[in-house]
Chain A
């Protein structure tokens, strides 16, 4: 069973702080990694994707990938109350399979 694990939270951070969200995956051959944001009652929205080891930055968001340790993380700088949502990690594993989603981490940014 190919799995993607996330801490369910809630993760509470003060406004302006850095929020760090983590995700581990079981399939060492996984190739592509995605972060989605989902507000309550809404559909997931793609934030970032990363394919190679290292960091990838986009505005306030940074995705970090470490294939040797099989984890991927998302950093949100200068967190805002509007960032309060559930963050889903998704992984493309080997084979003809769709993305495997984690259950998500709920982030709460306190004003």
Chain B
């Protein structure tokens, strides 16, 4: 069974540009979560999607947005990139049932020059 897949693996942008990160969940999982992990820091929750709808959002500015497609894949968009957006962006998926474990993809490392 394929795990959570993320693309691209690495992404290099400059300040002010826009970045799009993609995630495909484990087959059968309907929930997708996005996290930001800056170097040496903990996981910061960004967004949670299920059945195409945003279920919850972390404490991030509106330039962080995303969506979930009918096939449950998801993309994260970051507009007006800033230097401090440089981080590992992790996607996780789970069944929607409350309390189900999340399984993570390998992440996209976003570097802002």
Query: Would you call A69 an interface residue if the criterion is a C-beta within 8 Å of the partner chain's C-beta atoms?
Result: no
A45 contact set on B, CB distance < 8 A: 104
- Please, how many angstroms separate the alpha-carbon atoms of A30 and B48 in the complex? 19
- Please, how many angstroms separate the alpha-carbon atoms of A108 and B43 in the complex? 20
Interface size for A (C-beta < 8 A) is: 23
Whether the pair A96, B56 counts as a contact (CB closer than 8 A) is yes
Binds A, one of B67-75, B76-84, B95-103: B95-103
Query: Would you call A34 an interface residue if the criterion is a C-beta within 8 Å of the partner chain's C-beta atoms?
Result: yes
B100 contact set on A, CB distance < 8 A: 32
Query: Would you call B45 an interface residue if the criterion is a C-beta within 8 Å of the partner chain's C-beta atoms?
Result: yes
- In the complex, which of the residues B41, B56, B103, B104 contacts A98, with contact meaning CB atoms closer than 8 Å? B56
Chain A residue, CB-CB nearest to B6: A43
Given contacts A43-B105, A44-B104, A98-B33, contact A92 B42 (CB under 8 A): no
Task: Tally inter-chain residue pairs, CB-CB below 8 A.
Answer: 50
Q: Which of A62-106 contact B (CB under 8 A)?
A: 88, 90, 92, 96-99, 101-104
Query: Would you call A49 an interface residue if the criterion is a C-beta within 8 Å of the partner chain's C-beta atoms?
Result: yes
Given contacts A44-B43, A46-B103, contact A96 B90 (CB under 8 A): no
Query: Would you call B106 an interface residue if the criterion is a C-beta within 8 Å of the partner chain's C-beta atoms?
Result: yes
User: What mask results when residues 44 to 59 of chain B are scored 1 for a CB within 8 Å of chain A, else 0?
Assistant: 0100100000011000
A-B contact pairs, 25 of them (CB 8 A): A32-B98, A32-B100, A32-B101, A34-B101, A34-B102, A43-B90, A43-B104, A43-B105, A44-B43, A44-B90, A45-B104, A46-B102, A46-B103, A49-B101, A88-B43, A92-B98, A96-B55, A97-B56, A98-B55, A98-B56, A98-B102, A99-B102, A101-B42, A101-B43, A101-B45
Enumerate chain B interface residues (CB-CB to A < 8 A): 33, 41-43, 45, 48, 55-56, 88, 90, 98-107
